[in-house]
Every structure is written in structure tokens, then in C-alpha cells.
Amino acid sequence: MKRRIPVFVGLDYGSQAVQVAVLDARGQLLGSRRVNNATLEIVQYAERFGRVAGAAIEAGNGTAALADELIHRHGWPVRVAHPGYVRRMKQNPDKSDYSDARLLADLCRVGYVPPVWLAPPAIRELRRLVRHRQALVDQGRAVKLRVSALLRDHRLRRPEDMKRTWTQRHRAWLAGLATGGSLPPISRQLLADWLEDLAYLERRLARAETQLEQAVAEDPLVAWLLEQPCVGPVTACVLRAEVGCFGRFRTGKQLARYCGLTPRNASSGQRQADAGLIQAGNRVLKATLIELAHRLMTKVPHWMAFRARLRATGKAKCVVVAAVANRWVRRLVWEVQTAGLAAVAPPRAAEAVA
């Protein structure tokens, strides 16, 4: 007869195999084995010892898909753990798959798993698309910087009546340098290659942005965000992808900290001070919100007045921008809740975009 005692499972994930540790309610190790990275094998091994009352796995590449399968196909109560917090809780310099899996099982048993949000598949797909778009933008910027460095090396300046770079006229001037200008042969070839790379990246970027539009076309949260001042399609998509569900944040302060927009406390004794923004959060999300703050405080009267008040007290511009981004995000949580969109699930269109 199958044993039905409650057991707790820790999973140390690997691309080829998963270390599975099983504890009983008293913390006694019932079994630990390295099994193939196949959901059915993991389930069969763990359920030999009893009914799975809890399971934990560290967040990482591939773990979300495994957790989804265990939750929806096999009914396991899986919690995804924050790897940084788990490492600090270990209090042991040694590391092995066996010890990591056992620690996760023990944390699950006592209810001390530091959880992270398990994003639904549609949000994970949207994140991949948003981050792919950002990677294309970063690659294009790198190519432009190489072109600018080459021109500086040869002490070439654009014509004085050409005030802006990377316009159609500027690109035509660069193409002329690459085909028959005063550059040496190798530099001409490099410039031609970089201009070709840039054109290719821009075509891929346009395709990625079209895919983004299709993925969020039926998303009511994105439609609502686009109605807010200075929020464009890219900003709305980044917020939807990286924040996901606004309902998982109880307060605006929690969301601002998640976005990396809160100051880090650096107080000691009688000295009370901040030390800039916390070095945490998603880099793309933070940068997107900082860019949004720049637009808000130059175009929206409310934020223009807020900027003026802070500047009048002697605050540096970078501090003012961060403060605007922080206040906007903290206010956003309340506005999304008021609009009844805090718990709106994403449409499955993001998974279907080719």
C-alpha cells in the first residue's frame, strides 16, 4: 500500500539532472537521489515516500517550467525560492547538490522558503520578447559607438550644417565615406560592415516591436497604461512584462523597491544618510522608469512643479529624476487597484506570437 505520510521535497535543478531530497515532518531524511531532468521521474521518486505536502526549488533558467508542470499536472504545492536569500540562510561555505536540495526541503518543512513570484507562461514569453528587443537596442547602440570612435580616430567631423546624428542625411554621409571617402581601405570596409550590421539590427528591432504590439493587443492593463501621460508602447510593455501582476504588491513602496527605485540607507550612529538607489531590480525596468521620469518632469505640470520644489531645496538633478520615478511608481499601484486591473491575467496572445 502506498505510504501517505506528508513529506517535503527539495529540488536542486540542473539542465541534465535534478537532485531530489525528501524529508518527513520531523526533518528526518527519507531519501536523496539524483534523477534525470524529467518531471515524471521526479514525481515517481518523491511520491514513493508519501504525500508531497510541500516542495521548493530555486529560481533559475528552466525552473519555472518545471514548477509549472509539478503544480498543474501533478498537484504539488511548489514554492520557487530566491537563490540569493537561500545562499545567505545556508550558513555553510561548502556547496553540493545534496546539501542544497536538503536545505530547500528543510526550509519548505518549516515554512521559511524565501519565495519569488512564479510568472505565468504568457508573462514569461512577453519577458523574453521585451528582453530580446532590449538586446537588439543595446547591440545597435554598440555599433553606433564603434562608428563614432572610428570617425574620431580619423579626426572626421560631420558637416557643420548637419546638426543631428543618425538621420537619413547623416547615414548617407557615412555611406559616402564607406564607398569613396578619405578613409583608408580597412577603415572603409569596417564602416561599411557596421552600417550593414546596423541596418540588419534595425530590421530585426522593427519586427520585434511589431510582435510586441501583437502580443499585448488584447491586454486591458497595457491599454490602460497607454492612456497615462508620457507612457508609450515600450514603457507599457516593459511594465507588463517585468512587473506582471500588480496585485502581488500590497503597497507602492514594495513595487518601488522591486523596481530598484528606493534609496539605500547608509546610517550609522548619529549619522542618518542615504547612499543612492539600491543596487537591485531589473536593469531594463529601472532604466525604462528613469527615462519615463525625464519625460514626466518636462511635460506634465504636476511633475514639473514637483521637480521645481526639489531643485529649490538644492537636490541634484539625478536625485530629482529618481524621486519622480519613485513617486510615480508608488502612485501607480493605487491607480491600478482603483481601475480594477491589479489582478488581471495576461492574455495568452503572447504565447502564440510567432
CATH number (domain holding residue 52) = 3.30.420.40
In a domain, 147, yes or no: yes
285 shares its domain with 329 = yes
Same domain, 209 and 224: no
d(CA 305, CA 345): 36
Q: How confident is the model at residue 4 (pLDDT cuts 50, 70, 90)?
A: confident
For 263-277, the pLDDT digits (tens) are 876 666 666 656 677
Please give the pLDDT value at position 89: 86
Query: Residue 354: which pLDDT band, with cuts at 50, 70 and 90?
Result: very low
Look at residues 71, 86, 110 and tell me which one is the last residue of a structural domain.
Answer: 110
40, HSE (Cβ side, Cα atoms, 13 Å): 0
pLDDT, residue 9, reads 97
pLDDT in tens, 218-275: 999 999 999 999 999 999 999 999 999 998 898 999 999 999 888 876 666 666 656 6
Q: Report in angstroms the alpha-carbon separations of 186 from 183, 191, 195, 257.
A: 8, 9, 14, 49
Q: Per-residue pLDDT for 54 more than 90?
A: yes
Within-domain flag for 255: yes
Establish if 162 belongs to a structural domain.
yes
The reply to whether 1 falls in a domain is no
- The pLDDT of residue 255 is 92
Show contacts of 254-259: CB within 8 Å, 24+ apart.
254/333, 255/329, 255/330, 255/332, 255/333, 256/326, 256/329, 256/330, 257/281, 259/285, 259/286, 259/289, 259/325, 259/329
**Residue 161 placed within a domain:** yes
| % of the chain beyond a pLDDT of 70 | 94
Per-residue model confidence as pLDDT tens digits over 276-310 = 777 777 889 999 999 999 999 999 999 999 999 99
> Do 102 and 161 belong together in one domain?
no
Both 239 and 333 in a single domain? yes
Whether the CB-CB separation of 171 and 194 falls below 8 Å is answered with no
pLDDT more than 90, % of the chain: 72
pTM of the model: 0.86
Domains contained in the chain, number: 3
- The pLDDT of residue 200 is 97
| φ, ψ at 142 (rounded to 5°) | -65, -40
Residue 318 and residue 201 share a domain: no
Domain that holds residue 42: 6-110
Boundary (domain end) residue, out of 215, 239, 265: 215
Could you tell me if residue 73 is inside a domain? yes
Q: Do 161 and 270 fall within a single domain?
A: no
Local structure of 236: helix, strand or coil: helix
Gyration radius (Cα) of the chain, Å: 26
Is the domain of 284 the same as that of 336? yes
In this model, does residue 131 exceed pLDDT 80? Answer: yes
Domain co-membership, 205 together with 257: no
Q: Is residue 115 part of a domain?
A: no
- Model confidence band, residue 1 (pLDDT cutoffs 50, 70, 90): very low
> Between residues 348 and 49, which one has the greater pLDDT?
49
Residues 205 and 229 placed together within one structural domain of the fold = no
From 1-5, 117-121, 151-155, 183-187, the region with the lowest mean pLDDT? 1-5
For residue 127, being part of any structural domain is answered with: yes
Q: Does the structure show a pLDDT above 50 at 331?
A: yes
pLDDT at res. 53: 94
- Residue 49 pLDDT greater than 70, yes or no: yes
* 241 shares a domain with 338: yes
Q: Which of 31-35, 132-136, 163-167 has the lowest mean pLDDT?
A: 163-167
Instruction: Pick the range with the lowest mean pLDDT from 34-48, 200-214, 258-272.
Output: 258-272
Query: Distance (Å, rounded) from C-alpha 243 to C-alpha 342?
Result: 11
Using the 3D structure, point to which of 169, 190, 215 is the last residue of a domain.
Answer: 215
Residues 66, 105: one domain?
Answer: yes
Same domain? 307 vs 270? yes
